[in-house]
């Protein structure tokens, strides 16, 4: 196999427990008029904000309640322009960081946000550089602090699409695992399986390469010992640290290698129903593994099967494990951390054909290790229902 890849990530990564203390110093190197994007609860960011204000910096707070929409991003861009902000900080989960990246990207670029979006727009390139952006994740799942896209929901088109550019990697990714200690168990579960899915899908992707494999192996191993522990005990220092690191590694992997069928379906499902991305990925993962492994065996594809065997060994810790053992391990994990079924999100079987059509043309589906036919894709939805 020829080795052929490109790799890019955030310009500077700072990782470690309590590293959030460094945020005021880092910001002051980048600008003095800050747009701080947070989630609904701004309390967690307040300590940092007070310290930043002491440095003679202005801080405007933009709170986002839901996953980013074209409307919410538009409001954020407007606020940054009106207040003359010169730095954007995203302090929160994946939605918050994606919002911060999209706002930073668009402040100096003219025209409508929609023009720059994939699928529903023309995917226009950013002509101006984004504002400096600092990403401070408070969940361990999306790895958005090291990716170059922002997932944005178009309520009009009922679809989630990306604003994507090589210019959108954050200038600084500041990852403090302690910030994730207060995540409730359900969020720990769904975001954690999202991170696992990023590592797993890029490891078996038809674009996999030996460089990204290193991240995938390391990340999957850490998740295998830590997700359930973090779910059961949110303040388990070691488990939270492992999950934060694995999430970052997953982000590095997905920014450089296409994902697969789980994310192929997760985009359309998230566009049509108000469900969290991580939860959707988590309930689809076992069925995608099962159908993919079956398809790979039927089509006698040796390389992806070998990769499914390897990941089964990493997850189970058993050197003799085979691909099927990986499915069983994931099924048990999903059960132990109480991931709901697809049917519990209000999805109906009558929507399957539309979901199928949307998933087939998604960017992530192009990374799936095997081209699945309509029957196989429907089986994934049926098994997850």
Residues at the contact surface with Fe ion, assessed by CB under 5 A: 194
Closest distance between Fe ion and the C-beta of residue 2, in Å?
Answer: 28
Whose Cβ is closer to Fe ion: residue 174's or residue 196's? 196
Closest distance between Fe ion and the C-beta of residue 213, in Å?
Answer: 19
Whose Cβ is closer to Fe ion: residue 28's or residue 363's? 363
Whose Cβ is closer to Fe ion: residue 76's or residue 250's? 250
Whose Cβ is closer to Fe ion: residue 114's or residue 194's? 194
Closest distance between Fe ion and the C-beta of residue 193, in Å?
Answer: 9
Closest distance between Fe ion and the C-beta of residue 53, in Å?
Answer: 34
Rg (alpha carbons) of the chain, rounded to whole number: 20
Closest distance between Fe ion and the C-beta of residue 278, in Å?
Answer: 7
Whose Cβ is closer to Fe ion: residue 109's or residue 142's? 142
Which residue, judged by CB position, is nearest to Fe ion in the bound state? 194
Whose Cβ is closer to Fe ion: residue 109's or residue 368's? 368
SS3 assignment for the chain: CCCCCCCCCCCEEEECCCHHHHHHHHHHHHCCEEEEEECCCCHHHHHHHHHHHCCCCEEEEEECCCCCEHHHHHHHHHHHHHHCCCEEEEEECHHHHHHHHHHHHHCCCCCCHHHHCCCCCCCCCCCCCCCCEEEEECCCCCCHHHCCEEEEEECCCCEEEEEECHHHCCCEEEECHHHHCCCCHHHHHHHHHHHHHHHHHHHHCCCCCHHHHHHHHHHHHHHHHHHHHHHHCCCCHHHHHHHHHHHHHHHHHHCCCCCCHHHHHHHHHHHHCCCCHHHHHHHHHHHHHHHHHHHHHHCCCHHHHHHHHHHHHHHHCCCCCCHHHHHHHHHHHHHHCCCCCHHHHCCCHHHHHHHHHHHHCCCHHHHCCCCCCHHHHHHHHHHHC
Closest distance between Fe ion and the C-beta of residue 320, in Å?
Answer: 31
Whose Cβ is closer to Fe ion: residue 266's or residue 347's? 266
- Per-residue tokens: 215: 């991240």
Closest distance between Fe ion and the C-beta of residue 141, in Å?
Answer: 7
Closest distance between Fe ion and the C-beta of residue 281, in Å?
Answer: 5
Whose Cβ is closer to Fe ion: residue 194's or residue 228's? 194
Cα–Cα dist 282/303, whole Å: 25
């Amino acid at each position: 196999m020829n080795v052929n890849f490109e790799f890019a990530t955030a310009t500077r990564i700072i990782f470690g427990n309590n590293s959030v203390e460094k945020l005021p110093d880092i910001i002051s190197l980048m600008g003095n008029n800050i747009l701080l994007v947070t989630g609904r609860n701004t309390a967690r960011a307040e300590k940092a904000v007070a310290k930043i204000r002491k440095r003679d910096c202005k801080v405007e707070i933009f709170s986002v309640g839901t996953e980013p929409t074209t409307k919410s991003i538009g409001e954020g861009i407007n606020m940054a322009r009106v207040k003359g902000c010169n730095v954007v900080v995203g302090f929160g989960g994946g939605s918050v960081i994606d919002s911060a990246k999209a706002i930073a990207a668009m402040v100096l670029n003219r025209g409508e946000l929609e023009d720059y979006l994939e699928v529903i727009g023309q995917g226009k390139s950013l002509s101006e550089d984004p504002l400096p952006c600092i990403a401070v994740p408070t969940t361990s799942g999306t790895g958005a602090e090291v990716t170059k896209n922002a997932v944005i929901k178009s309520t009009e088109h009922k679809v989630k699409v990306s604003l994507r550019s090589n210019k959108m990697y954050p200038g600084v990714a500041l990852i403090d695992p302690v910030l994730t200690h207060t995540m409730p168990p359900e969020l720990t579960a769904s975001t954690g399986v999202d991170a696992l899915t990023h590592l797993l899908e890029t490891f078996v992707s038809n674009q996999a390469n030996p460089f990204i494999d290193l991240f995938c192996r390391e990340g999957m191993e850490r998740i295998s010992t830590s997700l359930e522990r973090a779910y059961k005990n949110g303040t388990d220092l070691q488990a939270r640290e492992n999950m934060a690191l694995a999430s970052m590694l997953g982000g590095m992997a997905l920014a450089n290698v296409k994902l697969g069928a789980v994310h192929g379906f997760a985009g359309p499902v998230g566009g049509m129903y108000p469900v969290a991305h991580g939860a959707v990925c988590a309930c689809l993962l076992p069925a995608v593994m099962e159908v993919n492994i079956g398809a790979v065996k039927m089509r006698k594809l040796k390389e992806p099967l070998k990769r499914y065997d390897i990941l089964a060994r990493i997850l189970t810790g058993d050197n003799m494990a085979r691909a099927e053992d990986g499915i069983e391990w994931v099924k048990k994990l999903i059960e132990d951390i109480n991931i709901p079924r697809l049917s519990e999100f209000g999805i109906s079987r009558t929507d399957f054909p539309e979901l199928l059509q949307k998933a087939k043309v998604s960017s992530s589906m192009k990374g799936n290790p095997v081209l699945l036919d309509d029957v196989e894709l429907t089986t994934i939805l049926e098994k997850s229902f």
